[in-house]
């Protein structure tokens, strides 16, 4: 209505006072302009919502990637178990994130520690807070990704009830609190908090190297540490024994699915695409989205190649599983700064991420720590490096475009922005480690004390598919089983030479 009145006031003098029907013509023209303007506004909302929903679908597809990666990385006798836990992460995580998680993360207005509105999506959509159903779906996909990381660390030896308990607690409380700190507009460390920015900058963890990957990795570390290594992982002399996964094909398939989903994970974290940085210009947020996809790609590619040659030098083999883990380590690292660094910096990020992963794996062997998917080393270690990397290489121009709520905020140390952003990011790392350790560590310890965490040695030796899930993931028979009605597989003896 105000826009119509302004239009009428500006247009009426052009018709003159003596023009017959001039006022009616002015009102008609202004009403048409208002209608067209509203259509453009509606179209903008529709484009941004469609972009966010499509990104949510991509991130959710990463669950399939996690499932394939996990299945290929464990022994065949535990395949059904690890696949079921991945389904459970999504299902239990969906319910608990709906009831509690989204409210704890984004329930604004609230305090700097935890949200307190939108339980069970009450009052959503909410135009004041700027949240619609698409926001919930996107954030839920992130929450279950954190839970999926943890499940990889404790694979092949964990009771099913423990998965139910930890997954619900992680997605319903632990992860949402951290995401509130960093991503909510009133979080104490959020770069979107206009009232009280940490060190005058807040934390720039754009898509979650800390919020998602460190949370999932540290939770997985405590689970695997309290459980102890799998039977046979280290011999009586303490030497490492490789318990290799049963399918490199599934590992590669899962890696490519995760790579594909990461294009929703990182570029999708803009939430909106139709945001011009200057009117009528070729360059806008759509360009930043493309740059983010490029930095994500380059970091992963560099990490993969560095791991390939690094592991070749260390072990003498070209190992596809190691290369896949290196690739994912590069993605986990670039996730924090993907939107605020140049492509050349992403190459540095991937190179160092591969070295971090190799180094943490060496430490894990030395201290007899067993993580079947290297999840704690990959997501926890490379995620922490990604947070430091962002504080070093964040570019002033990109930071001001993506976080415009404060002009001249500090940026990367090596880009001339001073050390304030680095200080904020060091605090983020320490606080995430402390929070996840203080919540997930006691939870796993309590489960351990009540004998709800680890399966029995006999069940672990036989395999969880047979002892806990009623059969193997793969159907096959041998000659002994054929006596009980199975299909016989006949051995073919070599023919004697004439």
Residue-wise pLDDT tens digits, 404-426: 988 888 999 999 999 999 999 99
The whole model's pTM is what?
0.91
Q: How far apart are CA 11 and CA 23, in angstroms?
A: 9
Kindly report the length of the chain: 498
- Which token pair is 29? 């023209």
Question: For 158-172, 173-187, 190-204, which range has the lowest pLDDT when averaged over its residues?
Answer: 190-204
pLDDT in tens, 265-276: 999 999 999 999
Q: Secondary structure of the chain in the HEC alphabet?
A: CHHHHHHHHHHHHHHCCCCCCHHHHHHHHHHHHHHHHHHHHHHHHHHHHHHHHHHHHHHHHHHHHHHHHHHHHCCHHHHHHHHHHHHHHHHHHHHHHHHHHHHHHHCCCCCCCCCCCCHHHCCCCECCCCECHHHHHHHHHHHHHHHHHHHHHCCCCECHHHHHHHHHHHHHHHHHHHHHHHHCCCCCCECCCCCCCHHHCCECCCCCHHHHHHHHHHHHHHHHHHHCCCCCCECCCCCECCCCCCCHHHHHHHHHHHHHHHHHHCHHHHCCCCCECCCCCCCEHHHHHHHHHHHHHHHHHHHHHHHHHHHHHHHCCCCHHHHHHHHHHHHHHHCCCCCCCCHHHHHHHHHHHHHHHHHHHHHHHHCCCCCCCCHHHHHHHHHHHHHHHHHHHCCHHHHHHHCCCCCCCCCCHHHCCCCHHHHHHHHHHHHHHHHHHHHHHHHHHHHHHCCCCECCHHHHHHCHHHHHCCCCCCCCCCHHHHCCCCCCCCCCCCCCCC
Position 196 scores a pLDDT of: 80
- Which token pair is 302? 């560099």
Task: Tell whether the model's pLDDT for residue 197 goes beyond 90.
Answer: no
- Which token pair is 212? 């998602």
Task: Tell whether the model's pLDDT for residue 2 goes beyond 70.
Answer: no
- Which token pair is 136? 């919930």
Q: 233 falls in which pLDDT band (50, 70, 90)? A: very high
Mean pLDDT of the chain: 91
**Listed residue (385, 409, 202, 190) closest to 303, CA to CA:** 385
Task: Tell whether the model's pLDDT for residue 490 goes beyond 50.
Answer: no
Q: How far apart are CA 284 and CA 287, in angstroms?
A: 5
Q: How far apart are CA 204 and CA 339, in angstroms?
A: 10
Q: 237 falls in which pLDDT band (50, 70, 90)? A: confident
pLDDT in tens, 24-63: 776 788 888 888 888 989 999 999 999 999 999 999 999 9
Q: 472 falls in which pLDDT band (50, 70, 90)? A: confident
Give the CB-side neighbour count of residue 239, counting CA atoms within 13 A.
Answer: 2
- pLDDT exceeding 70 applies to what percent of the chain? 91
Q: Determine the average pLDDT of the residues in 431-448.
A: 98
CB 310 within 8 A of CB 333: no
- Which token pair is 447? 């489960």
Position 21 scores a pLDDT of: 63
Task: Tell whether the model's pLDDT for residue 19 goes beyond 80.
Answer: no
pLDDT in tens, 330-374: 999 999 999 999 999 999 999 999 999 999 999 999 999 999 999
pLDDT in tens, 119-155: 999 999 998 888 999 999 999 999 999 999 999 999 9
Q: Determine the average pLDDT of the residues in 107-122.
A: 93
Helices 133-153 and 215-227: crossing angle in degrees, nearest 10, is: 30
pLDDT in tens, 71-101: 999 999 999 999 999 999 999 999 999 999 9
Task: Tell whether the model's pLDDT for residue 285 goes beyond 80.
Answer: yes
Q: Name 126's bridge partners.
A: 131
Position 20 scores a pLDDT of: 59
Position 399 scores a pLDDT of: 95
Q: How far apart are CA 265 and CA 273, in angstroms?
A: 14
Q: Name 284's bridge partners.
A: 276
Task: Tell whether the model's pLDDT for residue 488 goes beyond 90.
Answer: no
CB within 8 Å of 386: residues ≥ 6 apart = 209, 210, 213, 332, 333, 334, 335, 336, 337, 349, 353
Q: Determine the average pLDDT of the residues in 212-231.
A: 97
Q: How far apart are CA 406 and CA 261, in angstroms?
A: 32
Task: Tell whether the model's pLDDT for residue 497 goes beyond 50.
Answer: no
Q: How far apart are CA 445 and CA 292, in angstroms?
A: 40
Angle in degrees, CA 15, 17, 22, rounded to 5: 50
- pLDDT exceeding 90 applies to what percent of the chain? 78
């Amino acid at each position: 209505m105000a826009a119509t009145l302004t239009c009428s006031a500006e247009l009426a003098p052009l018709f003159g006072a003596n023009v017959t029907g001039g006022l009616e013509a002015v009102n008609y023209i202004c009403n048409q302009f208002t209608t067209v303007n509203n259509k453009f506004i509606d179209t903008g909302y529709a484009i941004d919502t469609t972009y966010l929903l499509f990104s949510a679908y991509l991130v959710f597809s990463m669950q399939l990637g996690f499932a394939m990666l996990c299945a290929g990385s464990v022994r065949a006798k535990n395949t059904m178990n690890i696949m079921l836990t991945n389904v459970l992460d999504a299902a239990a995580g969906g319910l608990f994130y709906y009831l509690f998680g989204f409210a704890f993360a984004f329930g604004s207005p609230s305090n700097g520690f935890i949200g307190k509105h939108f339980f069970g999506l009450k009052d959503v959509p909410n135009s004041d807070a700027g949240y619609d159903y698409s926001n919930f779906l996107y954030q839920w996909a992130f929450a279950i990704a954190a839970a999926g990381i943890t499940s990889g660390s404790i694979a092949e030896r964990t009771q099913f009830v423990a998965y139910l308990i930890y997954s619900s607690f992680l997605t319903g409380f632990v992860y949402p609190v951290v995401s509130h700190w960093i991503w909510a507009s009133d979080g104490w460390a959020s770069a979107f908090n206009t009232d009280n920015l940490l060190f005058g900058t807040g934390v720039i963890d754009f898509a979650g190297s800390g919020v998602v990957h460190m949370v999932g990795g540290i939770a997985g570390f405590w689970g695997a540490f309290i459980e102890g290594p799998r039977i046979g992982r280290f011999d009586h002399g303490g030497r490492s024994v490789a318990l290799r996964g049963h399918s490199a094909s599934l590992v590669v398939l899962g890696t490519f699915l995760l790579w594909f989903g990461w294009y929703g994970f990182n570029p999708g974290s803009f939430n909106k695409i139709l945001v011009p940085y200057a009117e009528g210009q070729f360059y806008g947020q759509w360009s930043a989205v493309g740059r983010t996809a490029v930095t994500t790609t380059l970091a992963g590619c560099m990490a993969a190649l560095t791991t390939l040659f690094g592991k070749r030098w260390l072990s003498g083999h070209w190992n596809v599983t190691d290369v896949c883990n290196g690739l994912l380590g590069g993605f986990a690292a670039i996730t924090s700064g993907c939107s605020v660094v140049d492509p050349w910096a992403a190459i540095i990020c991937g190179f160092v991420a591969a070295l971090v992963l190799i180094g943490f794996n060496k430490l894990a062997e030395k201290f007899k720590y067993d993580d079947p998917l290297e999840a704690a080393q990959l997501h926890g270690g490379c995620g922490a490096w990604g947070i430091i990397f962002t504080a070093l290489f964040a570019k002033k121009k990109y930071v001001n475009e993506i976080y415009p709520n404060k002009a001249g905020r500090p940026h990367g140390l090596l880009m001339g922005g001073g050390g304030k952003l680095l200080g904020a990011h060091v605090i983020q790392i320490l606080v995430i480690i402390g929070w996840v350790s203080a919540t997930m560590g006691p939870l796993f310890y309590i489960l351990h004390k009540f004998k709800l965490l680890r399966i029995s040695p006999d069940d672990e030796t036989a395999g969880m598919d047979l002892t806990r899930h009623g059969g193997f993931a793969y159907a096959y028979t041998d000659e002994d089983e054929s006596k009980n009605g199975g299909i016989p597989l006949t051995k073919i003896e070599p023919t004697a030479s004439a």
